[in-house]
Amino acid sequence: MVFYLTENKAKKLFKKYNRTVVFAVDRAMKACTIGEDGDKASTVYYKYLEEMYPSTDEINGYIRGDISAKKVIKNFRKKMNTLKPVPEAIDLQVTIATLMNMLSSNEGTVIVFLRPEHTDNDSRKLDKLFKKYLSFLFEGFGLELQTNIPKKLLKGKRKEIARRIIRAASSKSALSKVGRHRLNLLFALHYADIQKASLDHVEDLDEDLTKKQFTNAVARFYKMLNGDFVQDFQKHMLRGECSKKEKKSRKNQVKCIEKQAKRNIEYYNEYCEMVNGLSVDGIPELPKFPKYGKKLKGKKQKKLVKKFDKAFGKRKGFGLLRGAYAHIVTQTYGIQIGTSEYNDAMEDSHKHVPVEDFSKAYSTLATKIRKAEAAAKKEAEKAKANA
């Protein structure tokens, strides 16, 4: 269930129901206090979904009257539908996939977008733009953006209200067939990015990650390399009659997903070479994965799964698992190995590796690779000029 409410209306919901995720569309809105001052008072903090919203230039242009809401939505549609690994589009698509999955998978989740306060003409225009923008976005998945809370929803005791909202949220959060297809497509395109994001919140391995969650995380990583998500997408693709244009579009979607699956294996094997090349004591040898399309069966598959469990299946392998995801994602984004941006991302992912000098050694190797590539490129250009 998705609402677009004023802060005063939203507070009524916050007081009675705590399974809400709140986003502001105005950067100035940060948080609100629920209840009276004292022990019963609590603070609800708002997030600003920059990756999913129109750009600052688009928002300012609309407020000035330079561009229309139609143009802003057209730009959104272009980024949403592209299958190319454009950083801006990836950020948007991953954020939307995470949001839609939150709605469709977690029973009773309510998402609230807060309308800006009408303090002047600019804030009214901002409100108008986001109402159109968010309505269009959620309609694409078969969901309605509600601007009012039904009166009956918040009547009665807290338990009654919770049951009522959970029932309403379950029915109002069901994606349409087209919406489900779009979500499956986004998950298939950005599988590594989405799985990495789910692990990035982990700070304390013992407190933030159960044994089952850890086992599942390793299984999902193997599933990604095995290309299972490609088959899952094809299995759940929209079927039935469609236009030639739509048929071509679906074929292109499968091709792009297969390309990404191939790249995931290439990037993972590259990471293996870098880690294994360091030969650091206490770091297990990472198993390489066969080329995409080469399906392993029987003993060969069991042997590879065993190697993965040995390398990643224990808590000391969690940092390497995060590192593998981070390398795949940075390369998908086109971030060069050895740059400060790359090294920062990898150092953050390697913070759980229980070998003190590993992260530093990895960054040093990455920097050497960048310098060697730059030198080789310079030599090639010099040789070409002298030819």
Per-residue pLDDT of the chain (387 residues; tens, 9 = 90+): 899 999 999 999 998 888 889 999 999 999 998 875 555 678 899 999 999 999 999 999 999 999 999 999 999 999 999 988 788 899 999 999 989 988 877 778 899 999 999 989 999 999 999 999 999 999 999 999 999 998 888 888 888 988 898 888 887 778 888 898 899 899 888 989 888 887 877 766 656 567 777 788 888 899 899 888 888 888 777 666 667 787 788 888 889 999 999 999 999 999 999 999 998 888 989 999 998 878 777 888 889 988 998 888 777 788 999 999 999 999 998 899 999 999 999 999 998 898 888 999 999 999 999 999 999 988 888 888 887
Strand partners, 23: 47, 113
Report the C-alpha gap between 217 and 308 in whole angstroms.
12
Please say whether the beta carbons of 313 and 218 come within 8 A: yes
Residue 88: name the closest of 52, 38, 118, 132 by CA. 52
Strands (E), 9-155: 20-24, 31-34, 42-45, 47-48, 110-114, 145-146
CA distances from 136 to 77, 133, 300 (A): 9, 5, 49
What is residue 267's predicted lDDT score, i.e. its pLDDT?
97
Residue 365: name the closest of 380, 345, 343 by CA. 343
Report the C-alpha gap between 112 and 15 in whole angstroms.
14
Report the C-alpha gap between 330 and 324 in whole angstroms.
10
Coil vs helix vs strand at 32: strand
Rounded to the nearest angstrom, the gap between the alpha carbon of residue 332 and the centroid of all alpha carbons in its chain is 14
Report the C-alpha gap between 29 and 297 in whole angstroms.
55
What is residue 225's predicted lDDT score, i.e. its pLDDT?
92
Helix (H) or strand (E) holding 3: strand 2-5
